[in-house]
Structure formats: C-alpha cells, structure tokens
Amino acid sequence: MGKVSVHPANGAPTYRGIVPPRVASLTAELRTDSSAVATPTPRLTWTVATDRPGWRQAWAELRRGAEIVRLPGRDSVLVDWPFAPLTAGERTEVEVRAGSTEGHETPWSEPLALWAAFAPAWVAKPIALADPVRAAQPALLRTTFEIDRPVRAATLQWTALGVTDASLNGSPVDDLVLTPGWTSYRERLVYETSDVTALIRDGENAIGLALAGGWYTEEYHVLTAPKRFYGDQPRALAQLRIEFEDGSARTIATGDGWRACGDGPIVSSGIYAGERVDARLGVPGWDSPGFDDSAWAAASVVDEPLPVPEPRMAPPVREIERMPVRAVSRTASGRVLLDFGQNLVGRVRLRVRGPRGTVVTVRHAEVLEGSFDEGAELALRPLRHAAATDSFTLAGTDAEVFEPRFTFHGFRYVDIDDWPGAFDPAEFLSGAVEAVVLGSDLRRTGWFEASDPLLDRFHENVVWTLRGNYLAVPQDCPQRDERLGWTGDTQLFAPTAAFLFDCHAFLRSWLRDLALEQRRLGGLVPLFAPDVLPGFSDRGPVAAWGDAIAIVPQVLADSSGDASVLAEFYPGMRDWVDLVLSHRDAEGLWTSGRQLADWLDPNAPPNAPSRGRTDTDIVATAYLVRTARLTADIARQLGHHADADRIAAEAEASRRAFVEAFVTPTGRMMCDTQTAYALTIAFDLVDDARVRGLLGERLAFVVRRDGYRIATGLVGTAVIAQALTATGHHDAAERLLFQTESPSWLYPVTVGATTVWERWDGLRADGSLNPGAMISFNHVALGSVAAWLHADVAGLSAAEPGYRVVRVAPRPLDRLSHARARHDTPYGPAESAWERIEGGLRVRAEIPPNTSGLIDLPDGRRLEVGAGVHEWIVAETDAASPPVRVTLESSMADLADDPAAHRAFFDALAARPNRFLAGAVSANALYTPGRGIRDALVFADDDTLAAVDAALAAARPLLPADPDDPRHRTHRKDSP
C-alpha cells in the first residue's frame, strides 16, 4: 500500500508510492471452491486492488478467446454473462480489465477457468440392493465398461437418495464428503459433477458407488417417536459421459447391468446412530477393473418418480481440517478419554493395531460429567436418542486406519472402549487418534478482534459454531437426534453468517428447499427445511420462524448485492404474509395459533422453553408488521405495485394496532421485558420520536433492573444490543455484553466453552447440566449478537446492497482499548478499526476500489469519502465520574451500576455459612432505585451484614484488563 497521512479535521488522505491498479480477483456465479458452474450464463464478479485514492470504474472489458465485450459503467458484481451461453460440459476461460474515471487502466486479469458442470440430459435410473435384509442397509454398487479409442473428456455425475462416494478404477473421483448432501428429496435432487478424464484407461474400466442411507433413511424425531420419513433403503444414480477424440460420445448410467453387494465392511450407518465397520468384511478391489463380481446380485432398478436432478450451486461438504488430541485420561468405567480442546463437528480417525475381531468402540459428547482428570464420564443425556457411536472391528492386519464414512458427530470429547494394548497416553497424543473437521466448504469473509480476550474467544466461538452447524443445511445443532434446518435460528443468525462467511449460495440452496416445502403446504412455512416431521413442523404459522422466507433473502441481497434472490423468493414472501394476515384478530393483531415466541427465555421453565416472560402476541404481531413491511418494499422494488400498496396498508394497520394494544403514551410496554422493548425499537414499530425515546429509556431501566443479565430468548437476543445502541444507551449494551454471570454471552466462555450454547446455562454454576430436555452446546442463535459487534462496536456494515457504499460508524466501548472488523466485500476488503490513543481515538477505514464510504464518527461528524485508506483523530469526552461509593444504605440500582461493588457483594454472601443466601438474593434481586440493599438482605444476620458492609467498603473500580477482573480468571474446561 502507499503511504497515507492523516488530516485530523477531515481525514482526507494524500498518497505517495501509488500501486498501479490490477484485477485482484475474478469469479463466476456463486462458487469460489471450484471452476464448475451450474448455469450456461454464469454471472461474473471482479475486484480491483489499488491504493490510488477514489478509484472508481468507468468501464470494463471481458475477453473470451478472441471475443471482447466492453461494458460501460461501474458494475463489477454479478455482471450478466455477455457471451454465447455455455453448453453442457464446455470448458472456457474469461479475462477482465477495467478503467477508472481518471483514466487509469488495469492489465488483463489472470484467466478464469470455467467448466459448464451440468448434464445435457439426465438418463440415469435409481438403483439399490435387490433384496436388503435390514433397514437402511449400506451397499456397494459397480459396473464395468470398455474403452477402445482415445478419450477427449470424461465427466461423472452422481446423486443419491442417501449419501454416496463415487470412484473410478479404484480411485475416488473427488474429495467431497456426504454427497450429495441433504435436500427435500421428493421435490429436489442435487447432483455432483467431477472431471474424471485422467482416471479413464484403455480396456476395462470400473465405476464404484459406496452407498448408505444418510438423511434419506434417518429416523427423525423432535421429542416425538422416531420415524423414517423418506424411505427404508438408499438408492444411487450416476452417469458417466465420455467424449472421444473422433467426435463420438457414450454415456454409462445406472440401470440394468449394475451389480450390488450388501455385505461390505460398513455394516450399518446412520446420521444419529453412527457407523459400524467390520474390516474383516472388506472387499479389496471391488471398484477396480478385473474384480470378480459374479457372486454379487444384480442391482435393483427402482421405478419411481423423482424430480429431475439439478447441478450443485452451493459449496459441498468437505474435510476442513484435522485436529490432534490435546489431553488424555481415563473414565471411571475404564475407557480411554480424549479431549480435542475444541467442540467441533466431524468424526475421528484411528490408526490402530490389534488382534483380528477386536471391536474398538468410540462414543462422542460435547461435555463431561465430572472432572476430566478425575474419572469423568461423557455427558450423554444431551444427545437424547442419538447414540453417536462408531465401532470398528479389526481385521488383524499390521496397521489399520478407521474413519466413519457416512456420518458425522458434534463433540469435543470421545471415549474409546477396548483399545488394544496397554494404556499409553503418548500413543494418542502422537497421532493414533485425530479429529476430522467437516463442514460445507464456505469461504471465510469476515473477522473481528478487540482488546478483551474473553470477547475475542466468544467471537471465535461464534465462528466455530457456524462452521459446525452449516453442514449441508443450516442446522440447529450437530450432536443430538435433531440436526434440522430450523428456520427461526437461520433467520436470526443470517446477518452474522453473511458477514463471517460467503454463505450466499449455501443459504440460497436451502431457501429453495424451504420454498418447495412452503409451496406443498399452500403458503405455510414449516419450522424447518427439509420438512421431515409433518404434523409437528407444519401445524400452523409460527412467527419469527416462518418469516425466514422473507428475511433471509433480504439479508443475502444486502450482503451480496444480488437482487435476483428477492425475485426468486418473492412469491413465497407474499404467500406467507397473506397467510399470516388471514390469522389476525379483529383488532389487527396476531393472537392465534401455536407460537414459540421468545424461545429459550432464561426465565422460562427448563422443559417449557416457549413460556418466557414476553407475551407471544407481542412477538407474533411485531414480526407480522416487520415482514409485511419488508415484503411490501420488495414488491415495490420488483415492480409489483398493487401487492406493495395492499401489503403496506395492512402492515400499517397492524402497526397501529400493536401500538394501541401494547405501548402506552408514556413509553411503557404492557409486557415489561427486555424482548418486548427491543423488538418494538428494532422493528421501528413506534413512529412517535418522543415515545420511542421513552421506550429506549425504559429498556435501559429494565436491563439494569435485571442486573445487566440477559433476560431474552432467541428472538430478543438478536436485537437487544442494537435497540439499546439505537436509542442512546450504548453503555447499557456494553454492560450486558461484558456480564460474566449466567445468563450472559460471556458466562459460557468463563467455564471453557469453545462454541455458542443453545441455553444460557447449559452448564449450571454448580457444574451440573441444565435439566431441560434440549441442551446443545453448539447452537448458532445466541451468537447473533456478533452482528452488533461487527456493525456497531467495530462499525462496519453495508450502506447499500453488496457494500457498493460502505458504512463506517464505530461506537467504542469503554472497556476496550481497540476493536477492528474486516470483511471481504464483493468489491474487495473493507475495514473499520479504532484504538484509543492519548487524548482521543484513532479511527481507521478502508474503503474498497469502485465503492464509496459513509463515515459516522463518534464525535458526530458525518463524511462521504472515496475508495482508499482513511484515518481520523477523534477527541473523546471526559470519562464519566466514578460511581458513588456503594454502602448498605445504597439502592440496588447503585449496586448494579458499580461492577466492583456488585462482585464484592456476592463474593461476601457466598463466603457466609448460609450457603443458600447468595443464590436466593441473586434470584430475587431487582436492581431499581426504589429498592435498597438492606431490603435485599432482609433475612441476613448481623454478621453477614457486617461482612457485606466491609466488602463494599473495600471494593474498588475495575479497569479494562484489570488482573482482578473476574473476566480474566483462568478458564475451566468445558465440563462440570
């Protein structure tokens, strides 16, 4: 980069050492993991790298072979394909160069290779075992063919009702895992494509398909009886198209002539149950030429109607990385206990020697019952009916490697039974066992860092949680007997996900399944997609969950600049809104049906997570108004003006009804909870500025009343920090963020969490598991606050779709000395960062070429800048006066406002002989000006009062990074 100097008044940069502009990247359509494209007309996106200030594109030229097309204007994101459409299997290269408004041109880019990885026609038929002897029986399928002349190209395409690995002449055709993933099989099948030209040989060739049931044969249940939804047996489809040098072509496809074996080494396999492998049943060479398959039966050709398979548009599941064992111990029951140091999603790989017939069993769990070094056992209750167990029967050869092939688990810990040989921790620490991390192969695009180590660890937990749960579909949890594509979790987390990873194609693919399920249900959006529990997931419209059909497309359009996603899913948005409008009562409110409301409010009973403190009618009507407004705006943008006018009018009628029913003129909600205020503010449901201000004041009051502890479920958590900041109470949002007592975002981090939990108190303060029926320690929804860290604390967001205009609006937190967010936008890297320096703040913004920036500095200055790196010095106001010394005569509000005094107060109570007192006071405390500390200690004896008084007198304010701050204590492992 060139040098940049800073003008404190306006931040206008001057540069020395200009780097000439160049095309930094060129990509096609929605995938960056492969040259494969799923459409004949892939849209093109390019970025320019330069430190020339204000660089803006005036024109671009695209070159394909000898053909050059010149495009005037700024467009460089998802630009329509300007050449003749690609034909199936065609390979080509394109290049781009661009010129700026100031006359500076880039050289031609590096060529981008493109491969039209879609079939000219789908002719394969589903095949399976002819006579399976058990449900969901894995199978090996094969056929052979002859090659008698030179081959120009060979392409294999395959899919399954289940999961399958494809091989050619004994070699895997790709590095994909769990292909083809999970879709709504009855309405949509996705196929994989691989270039196998290099694997073809003269003479005999063999195609192999290793097949298991996967999601297709799984027995689904969410607190219901297990039941297979799709079918009892998996099926596979594949077709190999061979193009010869003489211009002829041939297709070998599944159908008649294939052979099948159901007695291979994978004895059983399930997503929830795990996998049983018996190496004694290995079939060497089964997928190679020359293998004698005469003892195999003919594969059954299944005559059933199926949707025409479509080419993959989203990145597939792959192995992301491998992780070593971090610690070794023994359970009380004698099993080997391994800790990988990170809650992850994937499976384990074993390297083992032992006698033939030895069965090594591996179980998986996220947390432990007990201390790791003192005989802890796996905490299996959170798994419910998911066995999550893999077993491997040794063949007795010199050295064997085992890894499950068609399942995955969520775990940090495993225990191993019957490991052959003496117990030697060094064996496991040196690589005998390692964890294989799996996930959809999404490109990382967003980063956040700050000066607080717990906050950084929390953000890293959010990243790990996304990586684990975004596997084939956006799951809600990867470990128990669920792992479903819940709509509510996805819509709440989507803004965070879209910042951290390029998940546009991934979520768009899932939305297609959701839209198909919705169409089948006549406009009703089910609780999850694919929808595998009819009668549970589709009993009626559910607010915040069904709204995903409108909210997620808008998030994708905002983050990517791709308006086509709105057009594709607009019919579903309209149908959903019309359905919800038909459920309003006479006042215009949504008060009917089953609602999950502010699900998992920490104040709800453990086994009744929908019974939070916030009225379900408030949540439902708030979402009705928000989604109806959004749909009306999208309708107008797409030119559906009649729809827009009608839906906007209905939204306004329900908004007025909401205010009349739930909001008083003095700014009180009829339901005095954090979520009620946060939704009303965040969804802009009150148009009176005075009342909105009062609502913000009351929200801050309620947050303090609750002891600056979270009192929101999934719905409220996604918006509470934004609502506080938007109404001028950033300090209250900061207190919520840095709370370490449960319930809070940082409490799990203080006890060793490495992913985000489903429940605020999945592990209780006493080390016990939450008694609820659902306890996941890898769940995306509560990580939605990361969107506020990115957009408000660090200050980076999109002011126009696709970051065509970048907003930099940092709102520093007092407890931080610096914060930074970076995002790879469609135009290139953007950044917002700030740090405290003597006398103020230094704010830094990086605006990508071909964009502009809207700058909103903490001192109130608002600026427009061009591309480049900019810095400003911002004077900070004097720090607030230290709080008045807290004594027994102070109010509980004073105690809440002084973290040091609050800590000293409860530490003193916890040290008293009456061990129940601290818990009782904490559970019943209301931190309001009208309640005194003595009132909270009404049952305390004189000695306790004296101890508390002395502790309060000794308390001193805690500063950022204070070593005495409990947020910086040594963390325990993720176990009770």
CA gap 523, 430 in Å, rounded: 55
Dig out the tokens for 815 from the structure.
């407890």
Query: For the chain, how many residues are written?
Result: 976
Would you say 104 and 51 are in contact if contact means Cβ atoms under 8 Å apart? no
3-state secondary structure 87-138: CCCCEEEEEEEEEECCCCECCCCCCEEEEECCCCCCCCCCEECCCCCCCCCC
Classify residue 790 by its DSSP letter.
I
Cβ distance 510 to 474 under 8 Å? yes
Alpha carbon distance 216, 228 (integer Å): 8
Catalytic residue among 275, 310, 369, 482: 482
| Beta strand segments in 387-529, E | 389-393, 400-402, 409-417, 433-440, 443-444, 446-450, 470-471, 473-474, 501-502
Sign of CA dihedral 885, 886, 888, 890: positive
The tokens 């579903």 sit on which residue? 572
Contact criterion met (CB below 8 Å) for 699 and 677: yes
3-state SS, one letter per residue, for 554-582: HHHHHHHCCCHHHHHHHHHHHHHHHHHHC
Give me the catalytic one of 366, 758, 831, 846: 758
Residue 517 main-chain phi, psi, to 5 deg = -65, -40
Phi first, then psi: give them for residue 612, nearest 5 degrees: -80, 180
What is the per-residue DSSP string for 688-732? -HHHHHHHHHHHHHHHHHTTT-----HHHHTTHHHHHHHTT-HHH
94's CB contacts (< 8 A; 6+ apart) are: 26, 28, 44, 62, 63, 64, 83, 111, 112, 114
- For residue 176, the cross-strand partners are 318
Residue in this structure with the two tokens 């192995």, named with its chain if needed: 319
Question: What is the b/e burial string over 764-777, where b = at least 16 CB atoms within 10 angstroms of the residue's CB?
Answer: eeeeebbebebbbb
645, 586 in Cβ contact below 8 A? no
What whole-number distance in Å separates Cα of residue 376 and Cα of residue 976? 9
Does residue 245 have an active-site annotation?
Answer: no
Torsion, CA 627, CA 633, CA 637, CA 643, rounded to 10: 80
Residues 6+ apart with CB under 8 A from 594: 539, 540, 542
- Minimal CA–CA distance to 348: which of 269, 411, 263? 411
Cα gap 518→370, rounded to integer Å: 45
**Distance of alpha carbon 218 from alpha carbon 233, whole angstroms:** 10
Catalytic annotation on 304?
Answer: no
Q: What are the tokens at 965?
A: 């701050």
Task: Give 175's contacts (C-beta < 8 A, 6+ positions apart).
Answer: 318, 319
How many whole angstroms separate alpha carbon 29 and alpha carbon 187? 24
Here the tokens at position 387 are: 């066995």
d(CA 821, CA 462): 15
Q: Which DSSP category does 814 fall into?
A: T
Work out the burial of residue 834: count CB atoms within 10 Å of its CB; fewer than 13 is exposed, 13-18 middle, 19 or more buried: buried
Q: Which of 199, 125, 204 is CA-nearest to residue 168?
A: 199
Count CA atoms closer than 13 A to 173's CA, side-chain side: 29
Question: Which residues belong to the active site?
Answer: 482, 758
